[in-house]
Amino acid sequence: MTKARFTHIGGPTVLIEFGGWRLLTDPTFDPPGRTYSFGWGTSSRKLTGPAVAAADLPAVDAVLLSHVHHGDNLDDAGRALLPAAGAIVTTSSGARALPYPARGLRAGQTTRLEAPGRPPIDITATPCRHGPPLSGPIVGEVIGFALTWPGQEHGPLWITGDTVYHRALRRAAAEIRPGTVLLHLGGVGFPLTGPLRYTMTARQAVRLCAAITPHTVLPVHYEGWQHFRQSREGVERDLRRAPKQLSSRFHWLPRGSAEPVEL
Q: DSSP characters for 193-233?
A: GTT--SS--HHHHHHHHHHH--SEEEEESSSSBTT-S--HH
Distance between CA 216 and CA 251 in Å, rounded?
A: 7
Domain residue extents for the chain = 3-262
Helix (H) or strand (E) holding 95: helix 92-97
Candidates 167, 145, 169; CA nearest to 156 is: 145
What mean pLDDT is predicted for residues 32-54?
95
Residue-level pLDDT at 2:
78
Residue-level pLDDT at 68:
97
What global pTM score does this model have? 0.97
Mean pLDDT for all residues in the chain? 96
**Residue 229 contacts residue 189 (beta carbons within 8 Å):** yes
**pLDDT bracket for residue 134 (50, 70, 90):** confident
Phi, psi of 191 (to 5 degrees): -55, -35
Which listed CATH number (3.20.20.80, 3.60.15.10, 3.20.20.140, 3.30.2030.30) goes with 3-262?
3.60.15.10
pLDDT tens column, 226-236: 999 999 999 99
**pLDDT bracket for residue 41 (50, 70, 90):** confident
What mean pLDDT is predicted for residues 136-158?
94
Phi, psi of 112 (to 5 degrees): -125, 140
Q: Flag whether pLDDT at 124 surpasses 70.
A: yes
List 227's β-bridge partners, or say none: none
**Residue 31 contacts residue 49 (beta carbons within 8 Å):** yes
Residues making up the chain, counted from first to last: 263
CA 110 to chain CA centroid, Å, is: 17
Q: Flag whether pLDDT at 1 surpasses 70.
A: no
What mean pLDDT is predicted for residues 3-30?
97
pLDDT tens column, 59-92: 999 999 999 999 999 999 999 999 999 999 999 9
pLDDT tens column, 187-199: 999 998 999 999 9
